Amino acid sequence: MAVKFKAFIAGQWVESGSQGVLVNVNPANTDDIVGEFPSCGKEELDAAVAAAKAAQKKWALVPAPKRGEIIKKAGDLMVDRKEEIARLMTREMGKILIETRGDVQEGIDTAYYMAGEGRRLFGDTVPCELPNKFGMSVRRPIGVTAMICPWNFPMAIPTWKIFPSLMCGNAIILKPASDTPATAVKLFEVLLDAGVPPMLIHLVTGAGSKVGNAILDHPDVNLVSFTGSTQVGRKIAARCGETLKRCSLEMGGKNAQIVLDDADLDLALDGALWGAFGTTGQRCTATSRIILHEKIADEFIARFEEKASHIRVGDGLKPETQMGPLVNLSQQEVVADYVRIGIEEDRAKLVLGGQSLKDGSYAKGYFFQPTIFADVTRNMRIAREEIFGPVVSIIRVKDFEEAIDVLNDTEYGLSSSIYTRNVNLAFRAIRDIEAGITYVNGPTIGAEIQLPFGGLKNTGNGHRESSHTVLDTFSEWKSIYVDYSGRLQRAQIDTD
């Protein structure tokens, strides 16, 4: 008997949805049904937004330090429930336990960081050009904010959005990915137990074509924060633009790791393995290209192939597993299609993997081999398009300048990495790489919440998640002038 999970709408846990039922299965074993969920639509969304709009006005009057105390409590509860949430997340999303524990930890870190903003939320005080006049700026809430979140980080990404939005005094509508709604339910249990007002936060589970579109079209949703594919993000931006709805987009990546001829190859190999195959390559920051100086390319490829061939693929709940399944059948088919494209493209050489795993213990899951292409050129589709799976393309270059040029030759600009012992080249890379994130002697994955997260070009629309910069997404600036001169003073005119 499948566990029946509920949506949370207008202060109530709701068992049924107007669009039917979503069934959530374990991608490592499709016989394991994680649960059944209400499939919501416009009816549920309308009820959620109406309640959120009313509750937000009261929440905005709660002192920011008090909001911070509630968010801090949520972080404490996540610490207590970390293992429970991580195990459930592995069942519904597939990635290994050490990674789902890290996913929860990122939510904890965000809670504690944002709780501290309760006693900051800094504005500016500035000198005015006229005598006996005072000027300052303060943050104000935006109103009802909606989060449309992906399945690959089902705790970290919602908390990146929810905690700063709550801190800024907003109401919340969360639409989790259809593949990972169970983790979202656990997050809402944490929020409610921490003392977040029940009418302020709403969990609408369902398909993007139904509840997602309803969010975009609702006139009382003031902001949409989306993380997902660039293709979907463009459509969301267009829909929001029609009504001038605020829109924050965090989208795709085609991230590269450069390895120069002076690099510590052992360190670079470890980084490449983690960056390419961590989370089964299902990260927007995953290392999908490795750019090698020609002097060390042959050695690196041979050692990389040997190490990757020993990665243990399997059920993420088993402690010996190093790489879990892909999230669903559709993603498994997408990855297989890109491998076929890579094989058919001119010159690309498949040196490892390339197959779905379907026999024996893999028969009931969506597993794929760690896959490496060598002799890839920058214009090949596998070097330009986001695959979102355990597939990495290796490109050879003759020098540092060509490496930077190849890295930048993509429509994306999220994460990047360079391995070198030359401090001068490291700083030139920091300057010249067109990406929102650059690592020196580290993989392209592993962002920390106290620094801004986001990218350039088609990776996003300029907003950032994490750090204090995310507050600019979820708040409005208000400028205030206090004239205590007792007479009319005219700025830019009465300045003589």
Residue 307 exposure: Cα atoms within 13 Å on the Cβ side: 18
Give the residue carrying structure tokens 């605020």: 246
Q: Are 29 and 364 in contact (CB under 8 A)?
A: yes
H/E/C letters for each residue in 149-202? CCCCCCCHHHHHHHHHHHHCCCEEEEECCCCCHHHHHHHHHHHHHHCCCCCCEE
| DSSP string computed for 349-362 | EEEE---EE-SGGG
Q: How far apart are CA 137 and CA 5, in angstroms?
A: 44
- In terms of phi and psi (left: phi > 0; alpha: psi -120 to 50; beta: otherwise), the region of 172 is beta
> Which two tokens mark 382?
């596998």
Contact 415, 407 (CB under 8 A): no
- Active site annotation includes 284: yes
Q: Give the chain's length.
A: 496
Q: Out of 44, 247, 284, 386, pick the active-site residue.
A: 284
From 36, 250, 386, 465, the catalytic residue: 250
Which positions ≥6 away from 452 have C-beta within 8 Å?
436, 464, 465, 466, 467, 469, 470
Is residue 250 annotated as part of the catalytic site, yes or no?
A: yes
Query: Catalytic positions, please?
Result: 250, 284
